[in-house]
């Protein structure tokens, strides 16, 4: 077979075009691959930043839980009822803790590479999504568990009190035939007792525990203007080491502390109240 000059030129042209097309495909594939690699790298970095941010938020939340810890267990799925347990570390000087902690977080931010802003107010509050709120005065003189929008729906309260001094006597509140049932559990280095019964939740009831200096006053019923609430007041010097309050509430899931938290870590940001 004899090839003419024009045939050779035409075949050479086709080969050149084919080579250019193949080279273009290879270049395009390389660019697409590099773009995908950059996207994957960016997504990985973003995921790392969000993960680091979540770690910092959870770490700070755990520190607040050492002061006031709100826990819950599902009691009845159909009625959305939860057993709520709140433990307050009364022996901790919350005023000093919060002041020092705000300063600590600045240094913590420098170490972790995050910009952290932390704000707090007195009392320290845990808010629940059913309107309940637990507040603890930073000086340790008062705690209250109440509904911020009306009366609590709790039918029973269990309150456990631990003290670091022996009581000299106590005066229980006036029990009634029906109402809100309250169990009081008490212990100190020398004594323990349990007192329980029904109280009228529409009036203020006071259970007074006396010491050689000062007293502890358990409040139930109308407390701080809210019905069917419970709280504790103590005079200084402080006697209580811990207060624990249990009750069954509908929809009582702890949402957040009333502390403000702002964190920026590279491209990730958090700005809200601290989750409880």
Closest CA to 121 of 105, 110, 137: 137
Instruction: Give domain status of residue 95, yes or no.
Output: yes
Cross-strand partners of 194? 185
Residue, of 76 and 15, whose pLDDT is higher: 76
Instruction: Give domain status of residue 37, yes or no.
Output: no
Segment 44-62, tens digit of pLDDT: 344 556 788 888 899 999 9
Instruction: Give domain status of residue 219, yes or no.
Output: yes
What whole-number distance in Å separates Cα of residue 88 and Cα of residue 245? 9
pLDDT value of position 40: 44
State the pLDDT confidence band at 14, using cuts at 50, 70 and 90: low
Domain carrying residue 256: 47-275
DSSP E strands: which ranges in 124-213? Answer: 124-128, 132-136, 142-147, 156-163, 169-171, 180-187, 192-199, 204-210
State the pLDDT confidence band at 186, using cuts at 50, 70 and 90: very high
Instruction: Give domain status of residue 256, yes or no.
Output: yes
State the pLDDT confidence band at 29, using cuts at 50, 70 and 90: very low
Instruction: Give domain status of residue 25, yes or no.
Output: no
Cross-strand partners of 247? 84, 157
Our count of domains for the chain comes to 1
Instruction: Give domain status of residue 113, yes or no.
Output: yes
Closest CA to 124 of 267, 258, 260, 10: 258
State the pLDDT confidence band at 43, using cuts at 50, 70 and 90: very low
pLDDT at 23 over 80: no
State the pLDDT confidence band at 194, using cuts at 50, 70 and 90: very high
Instruction: Give domain status of residue 111, yes or no.
Output: yes
Segment 87-144, tens digit of pLDDT: 999 999 999 999 999 999 988 888 878 889 999 999 999 999 999 999 999 999 999 9
């Amino acid at each position: 077979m004899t090839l003419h000059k024009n045939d050779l030129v035409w075949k050479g042209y086709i080969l050149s075009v084919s080579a250019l097309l193949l080279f273009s495909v290879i270049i395009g594939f390389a660019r697409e691959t590099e773009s995908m690699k950059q996207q994957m790298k960016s997504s990985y970095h973003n995921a790392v930043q969000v993960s680091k941010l979540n770690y910092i938020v959870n770490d700070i939340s755990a520190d607040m839980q050492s002061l006031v810890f709100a826990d819950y267990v599902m009691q009845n799925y159909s009625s959305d009822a939860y057993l709520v347990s709140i433990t307050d570390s009364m022996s901790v000087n919350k005023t000093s803790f919060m002041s020092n902690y705000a300063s600590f977080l600045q240094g913590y931010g420098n170490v972790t590479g995050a910009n952290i802003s932390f704000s707090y107010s007195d009392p320290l509050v845990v808010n629940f999504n059913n309107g309940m709120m637990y507040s603890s005065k930073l000086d340790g003189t008062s705690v209250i568990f109440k509904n911020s929008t009306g009366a609590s729906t709790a039918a029973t309260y269990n309150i456990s009190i631990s003290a670091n001094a022996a009581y000299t006597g106590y005066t229980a509140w006036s029990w009634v035939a029906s109402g809100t049932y309250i169990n009081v559990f008490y212990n100190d280095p020398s004594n323990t007792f349990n007192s329980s019964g029904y109280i009228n939740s529409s009036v203020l009831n006071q259970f007074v525990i006396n010491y050689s200096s000062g007293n502890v006053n358990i409040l139930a019923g109308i407390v701080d203007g809210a019905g069917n609430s419970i709280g504790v007041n103590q005079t200084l010097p402080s006697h209580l080491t811990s207060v624990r309050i249990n009750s069954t509430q509908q929809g009582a899931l702890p949402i957040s502390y009333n502390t403000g938290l702002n964190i920026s870590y590279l491209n990730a940001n958090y700005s809200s109240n601290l989750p409880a």
